[in-house]
Structure 1
Amino acid sequence: MVSKNLKILVIDDDFTMREACQETLRRVGHEVELAEGGRQGLALLSRWAYDVVLLDLRMPDMDGLTVLRHIREQDPEAVVIIISGHGSIATAVQAMKLGAFDYVAKPFTPEELRQAVDKAGEKRRLELENAYLKAELERRTAMTRLIHGSRAMAQVMETALKVAPTDTTVMLTGESGTGKGLLARLLHEHSSRADNPFVPVDCSTLVPTLFESELFGHVKGSFTGAQDDKIGKFELAGGGTLFFDEVGNISLEIQAKLLKAVEERSICKVGSNRVIRVDTRLIAATNQDLTQAVADGAFRKDLFYRLNVVQIHLPALRERPEDVPILAEHFLERFRYLAPTRVRGFTPRALEALSKYPWPGNVRELGNAVQRLVVLASKPLIDRSDLEAAGTCKVERNQESSLSLAEVERRHIMETLKRLGGRRSETAEALGIDRKTLRNKIRKYNLDDELALPAG
């Protein structure tokens, strides 16, 4: 999880001792910076994050225990090794109580110093591993809750928790990246079916010719390539929940077969006439206007009414900017283990810029942006300048005030495409949208002609 090469700060007023520590530790690949006193050391710690701090106890400008107290207030995760020729056992015990990790008495050999630093590095590695496991746990438990602080999302959650315990079919609407998948899992995990499978079906990525096989399964030999029997999604979700993500992408032919399965609560595998009863709760999600799709003849009216029993709309992130700081901090905690430095938070200027940005890719794009910021961070606090350097929130506020939301979105998509060399899969991922949505937006804003993009 953590590189063997550590970033180390030595705080000691003794020039010879500082230089000796630096030379010893650089020889084994560590990056070492020096501070000739407590005040200079704290100034460096306020701007940069270090894996290990070597701290002398007795210095003229500020004693080591006072420096240690400030370090613990400033960065509680700092791994501090006390070094001193003047300390006693009592002083060492006091330092440990204040949060020091280890104590090395002067004079010490290069090997003793390396061993102490190796132990501190191992502690740092374990901290990062724990942070990773915590992030993974949060990622999974986030499936049971949506991070929010806005009234709009509170209303969404209120409705969701009312309908979750029932078997009612639910339609989730909202732009790509607003959290429809998370809400679908919340509905499942707060239902009586929670101990049974939750089976998602990504309708935007499945090949149309294989869609029926994916949904209903097939028997061996039913078509070219069907070398074995296959269990479909409906059977896999038996007793649980079947989630159709981006259901508006299903072809009319498959819509007819899906309607039959929903109405009769039974299926037939491809190549078989045997009827299989299925017990699944259905949740569907779409970023399209299915009412308009019905009017245009692109979506069956009868299927729409079957799936749209209760509709829950997730607002776009730009419609609930008060959620942005909460979500940004949540993603920061989730991705901190990726950082080469110990990122502790955002400056007020950075949070303000994040909150004012329209986020066309919604929560998914914000999560991607925070991950990028954490990976590129070189300071404990992410500032407005870091956002701009990482290609986030590039539109200036005085410019944006005179631009329409569509123009802000057009510019953002164009800049992201340019930054990623026109590669659509990477651009869609960076924006937090699927390839079909990106393709539609490129067509909407005529970006093919403007950037001479390849088709696809």
Structure 2
Amino acid sequence: MPTFQDGNILIVDDDAGILTSAQLFLKQYYKKVYVELNPEQIHSHLKKHQIHIVLLDMNFQKGRNDGEDGFKYLRQILDIQPQAQVIFMTAYGDIDMAVKALKSGAIDFVTKPWKNEKFLTTVETANKLAQNARQLEELKNSRQYQSEQEAKEIEGFIGSAKSFLLAKATMEKVAVSDANVLLLGENGTGKGLAAKFIHQNSDRSERPMITIDMGVLSETLIESELFGHEKGAFTDAGKQKIGRLELAHRGTLFLDEIGNLSLPAQAKLLSVLQNKKFSRLGSNQEIDIDIRLICATNMSLYNMVEQGTFRQDLLYRINTVEVTMPNLSERVSDIPQLVTYYLSSFKNRYAKHTLSITSEEVEKLKRMNWPGNIRELQHATERAVILAETEQLLASDFQNQRTDKKAIPESKSLDLKQMEISFIKKAMAIHEGNVTHAAKELGIDRLALHRRLEKYGL
């Protein structure tokens, strides 16, 4: 069984023999090959079918060989289907006419009679261009929706804790530049949302932000996703694929969990960043690229450099500016604002508009342990909304085998000194460094807390 290419072809010529010959030949490679003797019917074909490639004769009137008929119908084709790739056909191999044809919007020029191998290569090249045009058009059509979704998502990029505001201020400054950004922080601290915030506030916001999660892809798939591949580049590469780098051209590329990138892939990425060009897998053709790179990881890349598992030169390339996203334990005062936002969102999603939570219950949420950070708080809020049986939510509705912060300290040690340090850190985090309130939380006076802070160097 032959392997058919994607792509619909229309052949227009006033010579029935040419039509039959071209159709029989191309039918071996393409499923849909339409033919038309009368160029006045081109409009009808384009209205009925999505045509990707048009093979168009240049002369339809006897005694004329100036190609004006072809130019006339070329304009009609591109008016109706601008993404169509037009190849002119003529028995007169005139170089001046060829140049004029290309300037008018055709993508190539073949003379009759043709050699099958050259003819097929020309059509295949046109088909690749058509596929690229379709993908870019789909991306363009979805861009408005994506932009709206991204803008809606970053509405939740909120908080007033000092640690969060400092990180956000850095992002606002770097967003207007083209500097590469490395986002650091534990899982669930909002690195993905931070990347969208930077992109939305950049000069590239009208272009896409393309994301690759390195943590869920094998080494082979990472390179294919990043660079794309040509048909036959490896087993199962049945057709050409445009990589994320190419899709991110003039936009932003977000590489999440970059610490999972293999050393060979790191070398290739470094080359792209240095030379601003790359090749698809299975191809030697270089493609120029213009991207803004944002990376994120919860790993210590500096330790990985020391261990030889991450390239130091790549680290210097990707961390022009570093931003560390604070843990939720470092921005406890933001919990009321975050809960209010998530509660409003999930109430609308699940049509539970009468749900509410009191400030007293929110205060209890501030004392709970959130090792999963903001993501855990978000999921806990969604779960509470889904399972709610009354209109008033309680802090206990958000719990999932979690324990009050004051009951078990972060330290797993039973050493009294370490436990005291852990309690003090928690109290200071809850009250954002307010010694008076933290001391009250701990059940000691303000001076006693000051002495302990000095003693432990906190």
State how far apart, in whole Å, the 1-side matches of 2:155 and 2:390 are. 33
SS of 1:204's equivalent in the other structure is helix
The answer to whether the aligner puts 1:345 opposite 2:351 as a matched pair is no
> TM-score scaled by structure 1?
0.56
CA gap of 1:241–1:138, structure 2 versus 1, over 3 A, is: closer
Q: Would the aligned equivalents of 1:235 and 1:278 in 2 still touch at CA under 8 Å?
A: yes
State how far apart, in whole Å, the 2-side matches of 1:384 and 1:190 are. 36
State how far apart, in whole Å, the 2-side matches of 1:350 and 1:166 are. 42
Give the partner amino acid of 2:184: T
Residue of structure 1 aligned with 2:403, choices 395, 398, 402: 395
Deviations 1:417-452 (A, max 9, x none): xxxxxxxxxxxxxxxxxxxxxxxxxxxxxxxxxxxx
Any residues of structure 2 matched to 1:225-304 within 5 Å, and which?
Answer: 225-304=236-315
Give the partner amino acid of 2:407: Q
The answer to whether the aligner puts 1:171 opposite 2:182 as a matched pair is yes
> TM-score scaled by structure 2?
0.56
Q: Would the aligned equivalents of 1:240 and 1:279 in 2 still touch at CA under 8 Å?
A: yes
Percent of paired sites with the same residue: 40
Q: Would the aligned equivalents of 2:346 and 2:385 in 1 still touch at CA under 8 Å?
A: yes
State how far apart, in whole Å, the 2-side matches of 1:163 and 1:188 are. 10
Residue of structure 1 aligned with 2:162, choices 140, 146, 151: 151
Task: Select the structure with the greater relative contact order (CA < 8 A; seq sep ≥ 6).
Answer: 1
- The aligned residue for residue 32 of structure 1 is none
State how far apart, in whole Å, the 1-side matches of 2:314 and 2:158 are. 32
Q: Would the aligned equivalents of 2:343 and 2:381 in 1 still touch at CA under 8 Å?
A: yes
Q: CA deviation at 1:300?
A: 0.6
Q: CA deviation at 1:325?
A: 1.1
CA gap of 1:138–1:348, structure 2 versus 1, over 3 A, is: farther
Residue of structure 2 aligned with 1:224, choices 235, 250, 255: 235
CA gap of 1:234–1:341, structure 2 versus 1, over 3 A, is: closer
Any residues of structure 2 matched to 1:304-453 within 5 Å, and which?
Answer: 304-339=315-350, 341-388=352-399, 391=400, 394-400=402-408, 403-405=409-411
SS of 2:323's equivalent in the other structure is strand
Structure 1 vs Structure 2 CA RMSD: 2.2
SS of 1:188's equivalent in the other structure is helix
Deviations 1:320-356 (A, max 9, x none): 1001111011100010035575443212332122112
State how far apart, in whole Å, the 1-side matches of 2:394 and 2:219 are. 46
State how far apart, in whole Å, the 1-side matches of 2:152 and 2:277 are. 33
State how far apart, in whole Å, the 2-side matches of 1:353 and 1:321 are. 11
Residue of structure 2 aligned with 1:194, choices 205, 221, 227: 205
Q: Would the aligned equivalents of 1:171 and 1:307 in 2 still touch at CA under 8 Å?
A: yes
CA gap of 1:229–1:373, structure 2 versus 1, over 3 A, is: same
Give the total of aligned pairs. Answer: 268
CA gap of 1:144–1:343, structure 2 versus 1, over 3 A, is: closer
Q: CA deviation at 1:384?
A: 3.0
Q: CA deviation at 1:145?
A: 5.9
Deviations 1:292-319 (A, max 9, x none): 1111111110100100110011100111
CA gap of 1:372–1:405, structure 2 versus 1, over 3 A, is: farther
State how far apart, in whole Å, the 2-side matches of 1:173 and 1:217 are. 27
State how far apart, in whole Å, the 2-side matches of 1:218 and 1:282 are. 21
- The aligned residue for residue 438 of structure 1 is none
Q: Would the aligned equivalents of 1:338 and 1:375 in 2 still touch at CA under 8 Å?
A: no
Is 136-145 or 208-217 further displaced after alignment? 136-145
Q: CA deviation at 1:268?
A: 0.6
Q: Would the aligned equivalents of 2:255 and 2:295 in 1 still touch at CA under 8 Å?
A: yes
Q: Would the aligned equivalents of 1:338 and 1:374 in 2 still touch at CA under 8 Å?
A: no
Give the partner amino acid of 2:403: V
SS of 1:267's equivalent in the other structure is strand
State how far apart, in whole Å, the 2-side matches of 1:190 and 1:362 are. 25
Larger Rg: 2
Give the partner amino acid of 2:340: E
Q: CA deviation at 1:165?
A: 0.8
Deviations 1:14-62 (A, max 9, x none): xxxxxxxxxxxxxxxxxxxxxxxxxxxxxxxxxxxxxxxxxxxxxxxxx
SS of 2:332's equivalent in the other structure is coil
Is 205-214 or 191-200 further displaced after alignment? 205-214
